Amino acid sequence: MNPYAKFISDYEQLIQHAKSLPLGGLPPAPRPDVPFDAPRALIFSPHPDDECIIGGLALRLMREARMKVFNVAVTQGSNKARQAERFKELQNACDYLGFGLLATAANGLERINPKTRESDPTHWNECVQVIAHILQQHQPRVIFVPHDQDWNTTHIGTHHLVMDALARMPVEFECFLVETEYWAPMATPNLMVEISAKDLADLISALSFHVGEIQRNPYHVSVPAWMQDNVRRAEIVGGQGSAAPPFTFATLYRLRKWSQGRVVSVLKQGRFLSRAENPAELFAPPA
């Protein structure tokens, strides 16, 4: 008898059961007391739901480093009939996690993609100015933005939108730049962040508040498998032949810094951040 048959059968049944769990409607997750003047982290989300999918490190920054985390709703999706509803779902998801929420426009920014950047500079520049204003107002220590090859045109557009906004900031402005992945893996991630079972359960619970999207495609139940696959890719972070950390779930990022008007490196080699370590040390000011 194949000893793995029951493992796979049980796993399949577990996934099917997860699809029947309630969507949203949960009381807010416990959150820490965050000082009023705490450093800020901004998640520039191409779509409502990205804050939950790639937000593992952001959640840890709020819970462990006592940072204020805000999700910036770059767009509210391309389906105009759903934009208002999607923003409400996003509000519910952020309220559940304890993230603040910043709107960019009444229904989010429109046509955020490489084609618009190339063919409609007037509209693009107006959108860049919206992001630059948010950066200027909030002076974040950390920002999260999709990497420039994240397949989906709005993800790629959001990358260029934020980078163009950074280029407009005063030369003395600086922040840590955390690039994220979802639709397409990065070729050169340099940071693997362990996500605890508790944090992952809360991220998926928050994702379930995006009811309209989940009803169309129950992708929330595949997030644990995606995070397991991230652990499998440990050698991309640590180097070929390096030992994989004993993580069950993790998210991959590329950590750099915006300083003096350009992107600079901050890690000499790939870094594995366990759940026993405080993520604040990644973003501590120089001694």
Domains of the chain with CATH codes: 36-277 (3.40.50.10320)
By C-alpha distance, which of 100, 90, 89 is closest to 31?
100
pLDDT tens for residues 87-100? Answer: 999 999 999 999 99
Inter-residue contact 169 to 143 (CB < 8 Å): no
What type of residue sits at position 196? S
Judge whether 230 and 182 are in contact, CB under 8 Å.
Answer: no
From residue 162, alpha-carbon distances to 5, 45, 159, 221 in Å are 47, 11, 6, 30
C-alpha to C-alpha distance for 249 and 282, rounded to whole angstroms = 19
Neighbours of 42 (CB within 10 A): 26
Q: Which amino acid is at 130?
A: V
Q: How far apart are the two ends of the chain, measured CA to CA in Å?
A: 60
Closest CA to 164 of 209, 130, 187: 130
pLDDT tens per residue across span 133-183? 999 999 999 999 999 999 999 999 999 999 999 999 999 999 999 999 999
pLDDT score recorded for residue 286: 61
Q: How far apart are CA 120 and CA 73, in angstroms?
A: 21
Which pLDDT does position 284 carry in this prediction? 82
C-alpha 90: how far from its chain's center? 14
**How many Å apart are CA 222 and CA 63, to the nearest integer?**
24
Q: Is the pLDDT of residue 206 over 90?
A: yes
- What whole-number distance in Å separates Cα of residue 213 and Cα of residue 96? 17
* % pLDDT > 70, the chain: 99
- Whether 206 and 171 have beta carbons less than 8 Å apart is answered as no
Cα–Cα distances (Å) from 163 to 62, 168, 197, 222, 282, in that order, read 24, 9, 33, 30, 21
Encode 136-158: b = buried (16+ Cβ within 10 Å), e = exposed: eebebbbbbbbbeebebbbbbbb
Task: Give the confidence band of 207 by pLDDT, cuts at 50, 70, 90.
Answer: very high
**Cβ–Cβ under 8 Å, residues 196 and 277:** no
DSSP 66-96: --EEEEEESB--S-GGGHHHHHHHHHHHHHH
Indicate the angle between helix axes 153-168 and 121-138, nearest 10 degrees. 60
| pLDDT classification of 1: cutoffs 50, 70, 90 | confident
Is 285 a residue whose pLDDT tops 80? Answer: no
pLDDT per residue over 13-68, tens digit each?
999 999 999 999 999 999 999 999 999 999 999 999 999 999 999 999 999 999 99
Written as one letter, the residue type at 35 is P
